[in-house]
Structure formats: C-alpha cells, structure tokens
C-alpha cells in the first residue's frame, strides 16, 4: 500500500456524481488542482456497511469544503454500477461528490484485498501538491470514522505539532 510521503498515482477513472444519468463523467488528478483531496475506497456497491460511509461523507461534505478539500469515493465497481446504486438507494440519491470506478487506481495504490480482489476500506488524504499525507486501511467489515478523518485533515492543514486527540482550536505543541 502506498503511504505517507509518496505521490498519489496519476489516474483517469470513470464515475458519477449522484443519481442523474447525465452525471457520468471522467475524473483524473487534474480534476482537483491545488486542493486537498480525501480519497476513500470501499469494497462493493449494493452492500451494507458501504452506504453508511458514503452517506456520512455526503452529510459532512460542507465540512470538507470549508477546509478547501474535495472528497472522492471509489471501489472496483464501474461507473454504471455506482450510478445504478445511487439511483436505487435512498441515502445515495443526493450524492454531491464523485464515486469512481477505481479498478486500476486500487491496484496502483496497493489496496486490493488479497483474496476478494476488492478495495480495502482505505483512506488517503492528499495535499495540493499530490503527496499522500495520511493513509489508512480497515478490514472489509469495519466502517471508518469520518470525525477522525476531519480531525487529521485539520491537523495536517495546521502545519503544527498536534498532540494525541488534538482538535481544531486547541493548543498545539510549541518547541
């Protein structure tokens, strides 16, 4: 798995934003110039844990936008599967960020489950220069914590030494 300090791979992937048929488009690294990007990957469409994460990122999207950060979700399913899922799942119909078909990108990131061949629940925070600043992966059955991703994004953007459990607005470590 790629990790902190490495460049996020250059990619081009098909995806959708929400449930409208005209939302199908192509995304690539240059889709988000000069911005922080939170990429999160999940195992499969039409499952049980995955929509809870996708819906929570959507619910909290304004908090990421307030931090000049984009959110991009993806799995090894293709854009047509993503679109059909968004059209059929009530919590995903109003999705406001892209879901991409990340078949090649997942392999390039090293986040494919060795037996299942699907994405691990991996999260990457990438800085405006395209460098990975945070990387984590959960097992297939455990959803991630969006609060923690926002907390880490705040800490990274602060440019300071941030102690354990630090939250935006709290004292940082001065040396």
Question: Which residues does the annotation mark as catalytic?
Answer: 50
Report whether 103 contacts 76 (CB < 8 A). yes
Report whether 137 contacts 122 (CB < 8 A). yes
What Å distances lie between residue 9 and 39, 103, 110, 131, 155, CA to CA? 12, 13, 11, 9, 23
Report whether 164 contacts 36 (CB < 8 A). no
Task: List all residues 6 or more positions away from 99 whose beta carbon is below 8 Å from its beta carbon.
Answer: 15, 16, 17, 54, 72, 73, 74, 75, 79, 82, 86
How far from chain centre, in Å, is Cα 79?
A: 16
């Amino acid at each position: 798995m790629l990790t902190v300090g490495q460049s996020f791979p250059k990619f081009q992937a098909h995806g959708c934003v929400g449930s409208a048929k005209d939302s199908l488009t192509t995304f690539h690294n240059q889709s988000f110039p000069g911005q922080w990007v939170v990429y999160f990957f999940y195992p499969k469409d039409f499952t049980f844990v995955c929509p809870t994460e996708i819906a929570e990122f959507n619910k909290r999207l304004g908090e990421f936008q307030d931090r000049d950060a984009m959110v991009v979700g993806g799995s090894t399913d293709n854009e047509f599967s993503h679109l059909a899922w968004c059209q059929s799942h009530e919590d995903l119909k109003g999705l406001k960020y892209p879901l991409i078909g990340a078949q090649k990108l997942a392999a390039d990131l090293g986040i494919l489950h060795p037996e299942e061949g699907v994405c691990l629940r991996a999260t990457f925070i990438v800085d405006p220069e395209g460098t990975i600043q945070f990387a984590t992966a959960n097992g297939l059955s455990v959803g991630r914590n969006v609060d923690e991703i926002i907390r880490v994004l705040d800490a990274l953007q602060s440019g300071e030494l941030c102690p354990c459990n630090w939250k935006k607005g709290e004292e940082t470590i001065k040396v």
